[in-house]
Chain A
Amino acid sequence: MRNFEHITPPDLESAVDLLSERGTKSIAGGTDLLPEMKSRLRSPRRLVNLKALEELRYLKHNARKGFQIGALTTLAEIESNELIREKIPILAQAASVAASPQLRNMGTIGGNLCQSVRCWYYRAPEFKCWLKGGDTCYAIEGENKFHAILESSPCCAVHPSDLAPALMALGASVHITGTDEEGTVSLEEFFVRPKASNRQMTILGANELITEVQVPMLDGDSSGIYLKAMDRKVWAFALVSVAVQVSWDKERVKGARIVLGGVAPIPWRVPAAEEIVRDQAITEEIATSASEAALEGAQPLRDNGYKIALAKALVKRALMTLAERAKK
């Protein structure tokens, strides 16, 4: 790791000012940034220590606004928060399987949404892949068993966050503060497919920070589930994950949000599947056709065709489980 200046800002305003200078990065939990710095993927000259900003460490809830979660809230705090477990358990579930206990004590919700992809070509300094400013996505022709089956060009890495699909299923937004402006955007707007002029998976500018995650109040009778398939039993990044949040009218679905993780460069909401379950009582047939619709258009690469079957099975299982619970 190259050396750097370590800067502690007194407040948020100074923090974003500092980030405007080239070669400056922000650090919160550090669980994603420090490995990148150790492998010389990034070598910032200055680090701005966000952990000092106590103003970003809170978890509030009220009946009108829902949840407001400060960006520095750790995954462990989210997982163990009683109100979150009671009202939006899908988020506690996602946080509890996101990483090992040590990493959950360190990693923050803001950092989790901004983390870099795990693609091995991206992580290896010797490959100057497209996402790092090169010309080629090496995974498209190379080793791609963990890569995208949807929207896999020009970069087929998948977004690794577990919280992102769960939050998107909850209709969450993030508040962003920059030097010139600040505002709130939905997660569907926050995550963008990478393109030549913006080689990253979010709209976040270099001198901008997520300061708060907002989860709106849910409809009276609502339930959700987060399912994650991994290649080992304890913790690993998702092969495929699915987040489903359903609002019910007795046993009928009033509305549903279905989001897949591990299949595309960004958390992948599937409106076609949501449409199929709307106004229906979920039967096995309905769940099956929703799972087919969720994966429509998927184009596997050489080694990741299994993700299609896996994703369909997870969507179906998620819907069936929620339907079972709704009957009780």
Chain B
Amino acid sequence: MAKATKTKRASVTVRGPHKMPVHLFVNRQDYELHVEPRRTLLDALRKDLGLTGAKKVCDEGTCGACTVIVDGKPVYSCLTLAIECEEKSIETIEALAQDGKLHALQQAFIEEDAYQCGFCTPGQIMSLKALLDENPNPTLDDVKRAVSGNLCRCGAYPKIFRAGLRAAEILRSKKGA
């Protein structure tokens, strides 16, 4: 149904407070959810779409375990409203492995043993993915800065930094090959 605006002034769009359809584009797939405006992107991914890679830890934008990529930028999905992500491209850890093959970052995390408990790992990897997408030749300092918003209470940071650099190498050699 075409929406014709009769008044000269464009109208406001009011949605909620009850559940309503929200369209999300996650890992190159379209989804229609029925959620309230208060639904965070993190809860939408985990509870409505079953994508539990992004973790809910602090739920207040401090720890980084919920990091996903929205329109190419890493963000905290716990502080993002799902309703405000329509028409955006959302990337989560679930999209990294392709056809049963691990992404270079995942491979590098295994090779460098870049975790202990592994709970922060999806967030760390998504922050590094955003970095490598933008900068294929990062310095150690670039890598450190990229994961500076992701806490690892096990203290695996040195190995995480090495994994970031190794993944960059793997990607470069693949491109060169």
Contact = CB atoms under 8 A, between A and B. Distances in A.
Given A4-B37, A234-B148, A10 B80 contact: no
Contact of B64 (A2, A102, A106): A102
A51 B84 contact: yes
B12 interface: yes
Given A105-B73, A105-B75, A5 B149 contact: no
Interface in A128-184: none
A166 B12 CA distance: 36
B61 A5 contact: no
A234 B73 CA distance: 20
A101 B148 contact: yes
Main secondary structure on A side of the interface with B: mixed
A9 B148 CA distance: 35
A102 B17 contact: no
B16 A30 contact: no
B80 A7 contact: no
Contacts of B83: 6
B12 A7 contact: yes
Interface in B47-75: 59-61, 64, 67, 73-75
B149 A103 contact: yes
A38 B74 CA distance: 22
B74 A7 contact: no
A11 B12 CA distance: 9
Contacts, number: 96
Contact of B79 (A18, A34, A49): A34
B143 to A, nearest CB: 12
A101 B74 CA distance: 8
A14 interface: yes
B10 A102 contact: no
A3 B38 contact: yes
Chain B, interface size: which category?
20 to 34
Interface string A118-133: 0000000000000000
B17 A11 contact: no
Given A2-B38, A5-B17, A102 B74 contact: yes
Given A10-B10, A31-B61, A3 B79 contact: no
B13 A8 contact: yes
Most buried by B among A1, A6, A45, A106: A6
A10 B9 contact: yes
B14 interface: yes
A3 B145 contact: no
B169 interface: no
B126 to A, nearest CB: 9
Interface of A: 1-11, 14, 18, 27, 30-31, 34-35, 37-38, 45, 47, 49, 51, 76, 99-103, 105-106, 234-235
21 contacts: A1-B38, A3-B16, A6-B16, A8-B15, A9-B12, A10-B9, A10-B12, A11-B10, A18-B12, A30-B80, A31-B61, A34-B81, A35-B60, A38-B60, A47-B37, A100-B149, A101-B74, A101-B145, A101-B146, A102-B61, A106-B76
List the 9 closest A-B pairs by CB distance, nearest first.
A100-B149, A10-B10, A6-B37, A8-B13, A105-B73, A234-B148, A3-B17, A35-B60, A102-B149
Given A10-B12, A35-B60, A47-B37, 18 more contacts: A3-B37, A5-B14, A7-B14, A7-B15, A11-B9, A30-B84, A31-B79, A35-B79, A38-B59, A49-B84, A100-B150, A101-B148, A102-B127, A102-B149, A105-B74, A105-B75, A106-B79, A235-B148
Interface of B: 9-17, 36-38, 40, 59-61, 64, 67, 73-76, 79-81, 83-84, 127, 145-146, 148-150
